[in-house]
Amino acid sequence: LFAAAVIWYMKLFLGALTFYLTTRQLAAPILFRSYQTTTRAQRYSSSMSARGNYSTEEFGALYGLDYRVYFKDHKKGCYISPWHDIPLFADKSQHFYNMIVEIPRWTNAKMEMATKEPMSPIKQDVKKGLPRFVDNIFPFKGYIWNYGALPQTWEDPGHTDPATRAKGDNDPIDVFEIGSKIQPRGAVIEVKILGVLALIDEGETDWKVVAIDRTDEKADQLNGIKDVEEHFPGLLKATYEWFRNYKIPTGKPPNQFAFNGQFKDADFARGIIRETHGFWKSLIKEKTPQLNTETTCGEEEAAHRADEGSWKKIIAEQPAHSSAKEIPRTLEKWHFITE
């Protein structure tokens, strides 16, 4: 009996040791690739595009009002605006676009590019002086896809769309990525466009582009909305319900949609993207825009060129990266919607 007990404990010890060594081998290279620490900020590099051109720097405390994510371009060796300086097209001939990930899947913090700030860093949206989170509506947890925006696009608030009969929402066009990976905040990924949903949010046109990471295992099988329904059954219906209901827990009515809530196909979506890219080109030529259009991009007619010295001063004044703030306990609640 004693010998059997010794053998059992030895097996337990060897199993634990094997697990420890395996996890060290798996985790160590990931941490080495992902994190570098300085006295001012925690920096992390990721595969933000197929070429790995971009990295990000975090400042302040996650879920705090001072939290910011700034972008750097390795080729240029300088800070950039992800909105203005990352090109819309990753491969124009193949219809691949760059997507800036603002919100990883299954998270609740409403992050977005700060379009009124120099360098348009990612920050948390603020409502009534508090960081904004989306509620959990049964059966969902936070955002149900990787969510972000397409650079060098702008939904013009001065333009009334003939199809939606509503003006633009004054932001870059939104995109959600449906692939298998949870993408990190600040990632720049190359995506294939699959379709678009026309949300009418508080009277404004708010296009929601459907996309998939071009490196995803399913990407080659998806070319349009019908393919999404075939390979991701139920996702489009869930997406419609999510966008319709996500503001209800805050006391607002359900959102409305153009086209009776039908998803339009990839060709239509690319046309909308092309139009919003044109609006952006007009925006950066404005002498007195309401948004910050300082850019290092190569647009010859851009009215406001970035001042690298001023941008570095802004970075130097940022608070050091620190531990995340506590999220509201209300996010533990599941909300149920009655029809």
pLDDT at 51 over 90: no
Query: Which has the minimum average pLDDT: 8-22, 163-177, 221-235, 304-318?
Result: 8-22
pLDDT at 2: 45
Are 197 and 243 a contacting pair, CB within 8 Å? yes
Highest mean pLDDT among 7-11, 38-42, 91-95, 135-139: 135-139
pLDDT at 45 over 60: no
For the stretch 72-85, pLDDT in tens is 998 888 999 999 99
For the stretch 231-247, pLDDT in tens is 999 999 999 999 999 99
pLDDT at 23 over 70: no
pLDDT at 295: 95
For the stretch 250-275, pLDDT in tens is 999 999 999 999 999 999 999 999 99
More confident residue, 42 or 217: 217
For the stretch 130-179, pLDDT in tens is 999 999 999 999 999 999 999 999 999 999 999 999 999 999 999 999 99
The shares of helix, strand and coil residues in the chain, as percent rounded to the nearest 5, are 30, 25, 45
pLDDT at 19: 41
Distances (CA, A) of 202 to 60, 171, 205: 31, 14, 9
Highest mean pLDDT among 28-32, 56-60, 76-80: 56-60
pLDDT at 299: 79
Across the range 89-101, mean pLDDT stands at 96
| Phi-psi map region of 195: left, alpha, beta (phi>0 left; psi -120 to 50 alpha) | left
Nearest CA among 214, 209, 147 for reference residue 182 = 147
pTM score > 0.95 for this model? no
Are 191 and 181 a contacting pair, CB within 8 Å? no
pLDDT at 301: 86
For the stretch 180-214, pLDDT in tens is 999 999 999 999 999 999 999 999 999 999 999 99
pLDDT at 39: 42
